[in-house]
Amino acid sequence: MKVILNNSEIIIFKGATISDMVLAYSVRSHKMLISGKLCVYDRFGNLTEIDGPVYEGQMFFLKRKE
Amino acid sequence: MKLKSFLLFVAIFTLFSVNNQSVAQKHRKSTEIIILHTNDMHSRIDNFGKLAYLADSLRKTHKYVFLVSAGDNFTGNPIVDMYPDKGFPMIDLMNKLDFDVTAVGNHEFDMGQELQNKRREQAKFPYVTCTIDVSGAVVKPYEPYVLLKAGKIKIPFLGLLQLGENGLPDSHPSRLEGLKFTNGIEKAKDFISLKDKYGMLVVLSHLGVDDDEILANTYPQLDLIIGGHSHTTMNKPMMVNNVMIVQTGSGLKNIGITTLQVTKGKITDRRYELVPLASITKTDPEVQAMIDKYNSNEEMKRVVGFAETAFSSQEELGYMMTDAITSRLKVDFAFQNGGGIRISELPQGNILLKDIFRLDPFGNQVVTYTMTSDEIKSLISNAYNREKSIDLAPSGMSYTVIVNSEGLCAEVEIKDKTGNILDTGKSYTVGVNSYIAASYKFNHTDPGTTNYNTTAQILLDYLEDAKKVNYAGVKRISEKK
């Protein structure tokens, strides 16, 4: 399935989590996500936990923690 | 740091009390109702003592305090999920804290329908959802909603459950046999009349925030959507179509405090605060004792298999992990990456439950693909080239990596279990963990699908079936330079 992270299209398996999505985007970013330096926000601007599910067509943003 | 946390809690509590007093003065003839809410606790029990302290503190100062969950109370902590009576510690703690209701989440099905029935019999609170027809299933019927009473005021809490593209909630399909599901957003229409009858309507939604937005846009009659499923941490509520949407993340890191002011049978004010439980330094000693007891669970010492010979390498352990996948999921091949094998040896003798979680602590799921032999070769080749060394332990095959002068994989020779070269015109089913699926670059036209089983659970099931294992001298991978 396709999801959008920081305006980049990520192709990831069905059933993936936020953590899986960031790992597919960048291993370095994933390490920063796990360490808490980066966080994932949804299209509404809400923080999304790394164990949250992702679905086809969803859009997220990886940013420094607000 | 502890002082800082305590002061933060005092500040939150004081602000909350002062705020309440001012609102109460404003609404002298109104009733104040506090809803403590959580969602997606996923078997995380460590903060229950703090939540108990907070809930009891509020109950001492406020007449009407409800404690509710928007679903997915289970799956995510082996202390709870692997308890001899699977999931019971969660029910025990939720009972102790006097939860009033939970929505049914997709992970409520992970333990199977019979065990869910048992957990529901033990629970002193109802599971609600209006989207499941159980007429052909083992699981017992659900009430679509519950009425929580604050004096003469009755508030309906309606349960809604997420469905995936396949029309099922995200759990293994074998656990959903006989159940029929309807779309929550459409089904909610049948219950909107509750608003007219009771003057207010709250949804315990396990739909996820995207669908909650649609729900709010569809039904402006709703007063409050207490959300779950998407693990969204809302520091402030979302207001959509004048419907308040709230959600508190996952793993019981936070608790939501939503206060309703009810005047003449109508909600006249709604307020929401997100309280990180880390900011609360006090804990209920009785509840903490329960948590400590569960965390020191002897169950982790349970024997789950027997190693006839010692495992002397990660490679041998990797073969066992991948054999579990091919055996349990009936796929042709499986692969395990070296970095995901967290111990390098295991002595001859009993294999304990805790050994499984030392070996595979990540909670990775199994992702399955249909792949051609060329695609499988690209997986092995790219895995090798990451560190210029053998990485993937396989099951169902043996392979040789041919290395070029630059140390990179030039070719991969694969033989199936009978020693035959793979058929280039044939497709094969392949299982890998979700780390490989997400982070390894390889050719695959099939995007892959998870079946919501963790690799650790698969291994546990495999060992409990096999009883004895012996991987001494097994060799399935080699390289030629």
Mean pLDDT of chain B: 93
**pLDDT of the residue at B13:** 54
Q: Tens digits of per-residue pLDDT, B250-261? A: 999 999 999 999
Domain containing A35 equals 2-64
Q: Is the pLDDT of residue B229 over 50?
A: yes
CA distance B316 to chain A (A): 27
In CATH terms, is domain B2-295 a member of 3.60.21.10?
yes
Q: Length of chain B, please?
A: 481
How many CB pairs (< 8 A) connect A and B? 93
Query: Which tokens sit at B33?
Result: 């109702």
Q: Do residues B119 and B83 make contact, with C-beta atoms less than 8 angstroms apart?
A: no
**pLDDT of the residue at B7:** 44
Name the residue ranges covered by the structural domains of chain B: 2-295, 302-480
B470: exposed, middle or buried (Cβ count in 10 Å: 0-12, 13-18, 19+): middle
**pLDDT of the residue at B6:** 47
Q: Is the pLDDT of residue B185 over 70?
A: yes
**Residue B155 vs residue B387, higher pLDDT:** B155
Comparing CA positions, the residue from B340, B303, B335 lying closest to residue B322 is B335
**pLDDT of the residue at B299:** 84
Q: Tens digits of per-residue pLDDT, B425-441? A: 899 999 999 999 998 99
Across the interface, of B76, B213, B452, the residue whose CB is closest to A15 is: B452
For chain B, give percent helix, strand, coil, nearest 5: 35, 30, 35
> How far apart (Å, rounded) are the C-alpha atoms in residues A38 and B65?
36
**Beta carbons of B438 and A15 less than 8 Å apart:** no
Q: Tens digits of per-residue pLDDT, B316-346? A: 999 999 999 999 999 999 999 998 998 889 9
**pLDDT of the residue at B18:** 46
Question: B2-295 and B302-480 share one CATH topology?
Answer: no
pLDDT classification of B172: cutoffs 50, 70, 90: confident
Residues on chain B bordering chain A, Cβ-to-Cβ distance under 8 angstroms: 40, 42, 76, 164-165, 170, 208-210, 213, 229-235, 238, 247, 249-251, 365, 367, 434-435, 437-439, 447-452
- Which residue(s) pair with B412 in the sheet? B401
**pLDDT of the residue at B361:** 86
Sole residue written with tokens 């109104």: B30
Which parts of B209-308 fold into alpha helices (H)? 209-218, 285-295
In CATH terms, is domain B302-480 a member of 3.40.50.740?
no
Q: Tens digits of per-residue pLDDT, B201-221? A: 999 999 999 999 999 999 999
Q: What is the mean pLDDT of residues A48-54?
A: 95
Q: What is the mean pLDDT of residues B416-429?
A: 93
- The helix or strand, by DSSP H or E, that contains position B477, with its residue range, turns out to be strand B477-480
Q: Is the pLDDT of residue B223 over 70?
A: yes
**Beta carbons of A48 and B234 less than 8 Å apart:** no
Q: What is the mean pLDDT of residues B228-242?
A: 98
Q: What is the mean pLDDT of residues B226-236?
A: 98
The pLDDT > 90 percentage for chain B reads 84
Across the interface, of B170, B249, B365, the residue whose CB is closest to A49 is: B249
pLDDT classification of B16: cutoffs 50, 70, 90: low
> How far apart (Å, rounded) are the C-alpha atoms in residues B243 and B236?
13
**pLDDT of the residue at B3:** 41
**Beta carbons of B229 and A47 less than 8 Å apart:** no
Query: pTM value?
Result: 0.86
pLDDT classification of B156: cutoffs 50, 70, 90: very high
Instruction: Supply the CATH number for residue A29's domain.
Output: 3.10.20.30
Q: Tens digits of per-residue pLDDT, A2-43? A: 999 999 999 999 889 999 999 999 999 999 999 999 999 999
**Residue B26 vs residue B67, higher pLDDT:** B67
Strands B145-150 and B153-161: antiparallel
Which residues 2-61 on chain A approach chain B with CB closer than 8 angstroms? 11-21, 23-24, 27, 30, 42, 44, 46-49, 51-53, 55-56, 58
**pLDDT of the residue at B8:** 52
Lowest mean pLDDT among B58-62, B279-283, B311-315: B311-315
Domains identified in chain A, total number? 1
Q: Do residues B422 and B416 make contact, with C-beta atoms less than 8 angstroms apart?
A: yes
Q: What is the mean pLDDT of residues B369-389?
A: 96
pLDDT classification of B20: cutoffs 50, 70, 90: low
Q: Tens digits of per-residue pLDDT, B100-137? A: 999 999 999 999 999 999 999 999 999 999 999 999 99
